Amino acid sequence: VDYLLKPVEADRLAETVARVEARAADRTSEEARPSVSARDAYLDRVADLLESLEDRAQPAAIPPAAEEADYLRQLSLPGRDRFTVVPVHRLVAAEVQDGLTSLYILDEGEALTVTRHVVTHPLDALEARLDPTHYMRVHRSALVNLDHIREMVSWFSGRYKLLLSGGHEVLASRSRSRALRDRLSL
């Protein structure tokens, strides 16, 4: 009778339902016609479907305080026989290499050094839990803390080499170098 594509518009769906009803009315056989109660149930189901689609189309309003609460404040870093808990602001960068996610954590103390910790969760999961006002994906395999960028060195093909706190370095991709430059208002 018709072919509908998402997102389904209420007017278009109503037009399709009207066509179906018109075809059903044109049929001469009583068996082919849906009973009144079946048709009402069908229309109720279509109305419920439309309402559900409208609810999904509108983003849920989340209060700002609830959003902030979802971001990580601490990281648990696995050790030999224990977990070390560090505040998330000490995370300088996270990188994936050969399928392993490495977190580079700024050590406490007078000398600024970075320690590498290998974790099991993927970079995408970590990125989703970090506050995007402080962290940015600068390469498909690298995420950096914007507060720890000390220098941005122009590199080949419009890319930037990021010099971070503790001497750690990350190479940003070309497209994300542009986004990083825009974000830092350079």
Could you write out the three-class secondary structure of 5-18?
Answer: CCCCCHHHHHHHHH
Q: For position 66, what pLDDT does the model report?
A: 44
The stretch 172-185 carries a mean pLDDT of 87
**Residues 2/16, Cβ–Cβ less than 8 Å:** yes
pLDDT digits (tens, 9 = 90+) for 62-117: 445 445 558 999 998 888 888 889 999 999 999 999 889 999 999 887 778 899 99
Beta strands in 31-159 (DSSP E): 74-78, 83-87, 91-97, 100-106, 114-119, 135-139, 142-145, 149-154
CA 162, CA 169: separation in Å to the nearest integer?
6
Q: How far is CA 145 from the centre of its chain?
A: 17
Q: 45-55: buried (b, 16+ CB within 10 Å) or exposed (e) per residue?
A: eeeeeeeeeee
Residue 37 pLDDT greater than 80, yes or no = no
The whole-model pTM stands at: 0.61
Q: For position 13, what pLDDT does the model report?
A: 86
pLDDT digits (tens, 9 = 90+) for 10-26: 888 888 888 888 877 77
